[in-house]
Structure 1
Amino acid sequence: MTPSHITTHVLDTGTGRPAQGITAQLSAQSATGWDPVAAGTTDADGRIRSLGPEQVDPGTYRITFATGEYFGSTGTGTFFPEVTLTFSVTSTEHYHVPLLLSPFAYSTYRGS
């Protein structure tokens, strides 16, 4: 299996465990708005390894995570019904976009 150009993983920092079962939508910015590229759901390790094609064109992309559904499934309230991370793709190298998540805070970084 060829890896996706863009991958992600989610860590539930409130529990210290991978966040399994979060759906995520990858979209590309176009002249008319946001065009869906791919979607996936985090696995038992909190990862989506096949989020999109092997290669995407340079541009602005976003991943929208359904965090409210995830916390709802665990019986946990949350301030964020979804988290959207917007980023620029400028080269052919791999882009890993992780999400560190708790019910009332989140952070991200450019992963490897």
Structure 2
Amino acid sequence: MSTETTASVSTHILDTSVGRPAASVVVSLSARGGGREPWVVLGRSATDADGRCKDLPALPEGTTHVRLDFETEAYFHTHTHTHTQKQAEAQQDAPAPRDSGAFFPEVAITFAVTPGEHFHVPLLLNPFGYSVYRGS
């Protein structure tokens, strides 16, 4: 919930390689009150079956910068192996599955916030790239 003096943050993850939400990805939320202040971890959550974190903690008053850390390695290890295995079964000459499908084992997104506003920051993810944007 935002007030005139605080901002709020939400996120979700879509695995664009399969066109589905990315479930069970651990997300950490950190904040700081200025560019030179240290980061303070406010909490951790994991994405639900719809790829959303619905229980991220509120930002403290005076927050100017926020960082979302997405732990993607475990997600890709599980999902890329399954996806690659299905492809190999469909194509006899396909390469064997890799040990880890995580070229980016973690994704850290840092952004500025304004008091009184809500910031929804979706992550579009695939094994070899990602993009983010300010949603609504």
Measured in 2, the distance between the counterparts of 1:82 and 1:7 equals: 18
Percent identity at matched positions? 46
Asked whether 1:60 is paired with 2:65, we answer yes
1:25 counterpart residue number: 28
Question: What's the Cα RMSD here?
Answer: 1.9
Q: Distance in 1 between matches of 2:124 and 2:101?
A: 17
Whichever residue aligns with residue 88 of structure 1, its letter is A
2:12 equivalent among 9, 19, 27: 9
SS at match of 1:6: strand
Residues 51 and 18 of structure 1, relative CA distance in 2, 3 Å threshold: same
Query: Of Structure 1 and Structure 2, which has the larger fraction of its residues in strand?
Result: 1
What aligned pairs does 1:37-48 form with structure 2 within 5 A after superposition? 37-48=42-53
The alpha-carbon deviation at position 73 of structure 1 amounts to 2.1
Q: Find the residue that maps to 1:33 and give its secondary structure.
A: coil
Q: Report the CA distance between 1:32 and its aligned residue.
A: 5.0
Aligned residues: 110
Tell me the TM-score normalised to structure 2 length. 0.74
Question: Where does structure 2 lack aligned partners over 5 or more consecutive residues?
Answer: 82-99
Deviates more, 1:97-106 or 1:73-82: 73-82
Asked if the contact 1:5/1:56 (under 8 Å) is kept, the reply is no
Q: CA deviation at 1:78?
A: 2.0
- Separation in 2 of the partners of 1:50 and 1:71? 23
- What runs of 5+ residues in structure 1 fail to find an aligned partner? none
Q: Which residue of 2 aligns with 1:95?
A: 119
Distance 2:23 2:57 in 1: 19
SS at match of 1:44: coil
Give how far 1:52 is off: 1.3
- Give the aligned residue type for 2:127: P
